């Protein structure tokens, strides 16, 4: 179905949780993408909500950009609570 | 399962010195159990092997619906019919999960399906056998899906991320298939007439050897396995998987009160495994080449489904175009 657009499917498994990527479907339009996603990814009540997003509208980071994007965060340990040691007497914070 | 004899396009393994720096990085990732994702660099042969294996696996799921579809209108009760429909629907779903994993590698679904219809792509040999009586539905679920599970559980750890994730989903759903199959047989053996019990044994007699063939040729006859194992596309060898399947299946067979059509089958105290007789590899290669009992029928059914559905697909595209036009106006 190359003439049909590819959509990425995201499913919210329970109220209160994020939508999570589960796979993709082909469809002629948005509505059909939703129906196909329902049939394909929620046959056993895996979800309470579905997003379908045309794949060609997603901008993704490339694997060779990994260092440029994520390395700067590596040496910023002071962004984590565990960096700050408190005296025991202070108790839970 | 379902990939038998996947050509890796490599004659022998490359030594580390022969690898390019990219190839070395890639192999290091594999060795460290880091999953390869769609956008990562990968050797061309790895990509091609995966497209071949995943498409073959997907085709098997799709063609695998046909032997069971044969019994949909003839299921003995409404309950059995619903179960069988759910199982067949799952198989369509499994085929689609796999095609979608395959597409992440840049392969085109239509093109791969066309290769199947032109007889250029393989699918599992098992689906070229006929399903002659109702007990076959039980035996297919129990033995065929059982053999598939043994293979697919291991494939959950395959090195390519999208394939591995599809396998996780599939395995979760597949165990229902095997249990419903076993239950069909168990009911027939416990509550059935003698004629029905005979059907169970008959189904097992016909499907036993083809089920063992699903794991593919012996390791020393499987020239592509070595490369697939190094790339961790495959995680266990054909013979290892076949032995696992036999060892776990025989106690279930005995529980049913049935036998395997293999006079050489016996427990080996020393090895802790069952010994079994020689597999008829000529039959396996004949079926794989297209000369099994149902090859032509299966492919012509698939072609017919695509051809007769053309107007539906065209109508869907026309409808979508019209809706878009209206929304723009």
Could you tell me which of B283, B273, B248 has the C-alpha nearest to residue B146? B248
- Which residues of chain A lie closer than 8 angstroms to B173, CB-CB? 43-44
Containing H/E element for B246? helix B238-256
Convert the pLDDT of each residue in B135-159 to its tens digit: 999 999 999 999 999 999 999 999 9
Yes or no, beta carbons of B173 and A44 under 8 Å apart: yes
Yes or no, beta carbons of B103 and A60 under 8 Å apart: no
Which of B89, B111, B323 is opposite residue A43, by nearest beta carbon?
B89
Q: Which of A29, A31, A47, A65 to mutate to test the interface with B (most CBs of B within 10 A)?
A: A29
Counting beta carbons within 10 angstroms of the beta carbon of residue B22, is it exposed (0 to 12), middle (13 to 18) or buried (19 or more)?
exposed
Could you tell me which of B209, B240, B212, B245 has the C-alpha nearest to residue B225? B240
Burial code of B154-177, b = ≥16 C-beta within 10 A, e = fewer? bbbebbbbbbbbbbebbbebbebb
Strand runs labelled E in A28-90: 49-54
By the CB < 8 Å criterion, does A15 face chain B?
no
Residue-level pLDDT at B267: 97
Yes or no, beta carbons of B313 and A6 under 8 Å apart: no
Residue B104, token pair as written in the block: 């992440």
Residue B233, token pair as written in the block: 């596309």
Shortest CA distance from A44: residue in chain B: B173
Residue-level pLDDT at A25: 95
Could you tell me which of B244, B62, B68 has the C-alpha nearest to residue B146? B244
CA distance B192 to B312: 44
Q: By three-state DSSP, how is residue B147 classified?
A: helix
- Which residues of chain A lie closer than 8 angstroms to B39, CB-CB? 60, 62-63
> Rg of chain A over CA atoms, in angstroms?
21
Residue-level pLDDT at B191: 96
By the CB < 8 Å criterion, does A29 face chain B?
yes
By the CB < 8 Å criterion, does A28 face chain B?
yes
What letter does residue B14 receive in the DSSP assignment? P
By the CB < 8 Å criterion, does B281 face chain A?
no
Q: Phi, psi at residue B15, to the nearest 5°?
A: -80, 165
CA distance B80 to B173: 18
Could you tell me which of B158, B124, B157, B156 has the C-alpha nearest to residue B143? B124
Shortest CA distance from A64: residue in chain B: B40
Burial code of B273-312, b = ≥16 C-beta within 10 A, e = fewer? ebebeebeeeebeebbeeebebbeebbeebeeeeeeeeee
CA distance B107 to B48: 9
Beta pairing class for A49-54 and B266-268: unpaired
> Is B298 in contact with B128 (CB distance < 8 Å)?
yes
Q: By three-state DSSP, how is residue B118 classified?
A: coil
By the CB < 8 Å criterion, does A62 face chain B?
yes
Beta bridge partners of A54: A7
Which of B39, B93, B97 is opposite residue A63, by nearest beta carbon?
B39
Beta bridge partners of A12: A19, A49
Shortest CA distance from A62: residue in chain B: B39
Which of B39, B165, B316 is opposite residue A32, by nearest beta carbon?
B316
- Which residues of chain A lie closer than 8 angstroms to B96, CB-CB? 25, 40
Q: By three-state DSSP, how is residue B305 classified?
A: helix
ipTM: 0.83
pTM: 0.90
CA distance B206 to A19: 46
- Which residues of chain A lie closer than 8 angstroms to B89, CB-CB? 43
Helices B161-191 & B238-256 angle (0-180, nearest 10) = 20
One pLDDT digit (tens) per residue for chain B, 329 residues: 456 666 776 767 888 888 899 999 999 999 999 999 998 999 999 999 999 999 999 999 999 999 999 899 999 999 999 999 999 999 999 999 999 999 999 999 999 999 999 999 999 999 999 999 999 999 999 999 999 999 999 999 999 999 999 999 999 898 899 999 999 999 999 999 999 999 999 999 999 999 999 999 998 888 778 888 899 998 899 999 999 999 999 999 999 999 999 999 999 999 999 999 999 999 999 998 889 999 999 999 999 999 999 999 999 999 999 998 999 98
By the CB < 8 Å criterion, does A1 face chain B?
yes
CA distance B223 to B200: 37
- Unique residue bearing structure tokens 């070395």: B24
Which of B37, B100, B313 is opposite residue A23, by nearest beta carbon?
B100
Yes or no, beta carbons of B100 and A25 under 8 Å apart: yes
- Which residues of chain B lie closer than 8 angstroms to A62, CB-CB? 39
Q: Which of A63, A65, A67 to mutate to test the interface with B (most CBs of B within 10 A)?
A: A63
Residue A70 has pLDDT above 50, yes or no: yes
Who's near B241: CB < 8 A, 6+ residues apart? B150, B151, B154, B215
Residue A68 has pLDDT above 90, yes or no: no
Size of interface A-B (CB pairs under 8 A): 50
CA distance B303 to B171: 28
């Amino acid at each position: 179905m190359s003439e049909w657009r590819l959509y990425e499917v995201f499913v919210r498994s329970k109220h209160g949780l994020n939508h999570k990527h589960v796979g993709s479907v082909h469809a002629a339009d948005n509505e059909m993408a939703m129906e196909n996603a329902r049939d394909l990814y929620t046959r056993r009540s895996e979800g309470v909500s579905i997003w379908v997003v045309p794949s060609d509208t997603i901008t993704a980071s490339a694997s060779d950009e990994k260092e440029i994007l994520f390395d700067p965060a590596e040496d910023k340990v002071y962004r984590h609570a565990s960096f700050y040691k408190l005296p025991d007497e202070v108790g839970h914070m | 399962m379902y990939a038998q004899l996947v050509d890796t396009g490599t004659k022998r393994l490359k030594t580390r010195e022969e690898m390019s720096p990219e190839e070395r990085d890639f192999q290091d990732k594999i060795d460290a159990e880091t999953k390869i994702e769609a956008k990562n660099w990968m050797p061309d042969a790895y990509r091609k092997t995966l497209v071949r294996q995943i498409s073959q696996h997907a085709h098997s799921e799709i063609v695998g619906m046909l032997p069971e579809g044969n019994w949909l209108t003839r299921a003995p009760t409404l309950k059995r019919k619903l179960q069988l429909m759910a199982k067949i629907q799952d198989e369509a779903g499994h085929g689609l999960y796999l095609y979608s994993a395959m597409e992440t590698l840049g392969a085109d679904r239509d093109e791969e399906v066309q290769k199947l219809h032109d007889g250029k792509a393989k699918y599992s040999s098992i689906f070229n056998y006929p399903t002659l009586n109702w007990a076959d539905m039980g035996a297919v679920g129990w033995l065929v899906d059982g053999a598939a599970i043994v293979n697919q559980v291991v494939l959950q750890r395959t090195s390519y991320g999208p394939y591995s994730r599809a396998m996780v989903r599939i395995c979760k759903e597949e165990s229902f298939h095997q249990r419903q199959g076993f239950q069909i047989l168990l009911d027939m053996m416990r509550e059935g007439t003698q004629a029905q019990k005979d059907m169970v044994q008959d189904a097992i007699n016909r499907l036993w050897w083809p089920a063992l063939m699903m794991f593919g040729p012996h390791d020393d006859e499987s020239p592509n396995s070595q490369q697939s194992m190094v790339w961790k596309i495959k995680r266990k060898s054909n013979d290892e998987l076949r032995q696992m399947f036999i060892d776990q299946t025989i106690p279930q067979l005995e529980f049913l009160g049935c036998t395997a059509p293999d006079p050489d089958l016996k427990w080996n105290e020393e090895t802790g495994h069952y010994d079994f007789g020689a597999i008829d590899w000529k039959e396996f290669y004949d079926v794989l080449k297209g000369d099994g009992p149902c090859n032509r029928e299966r492919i012509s059914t698939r072609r017919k489904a695509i051809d007769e559905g053309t107007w539906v697909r065209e109508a869907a595209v026309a409808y979508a175009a019209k809706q878009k036009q209206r929304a723009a106006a």
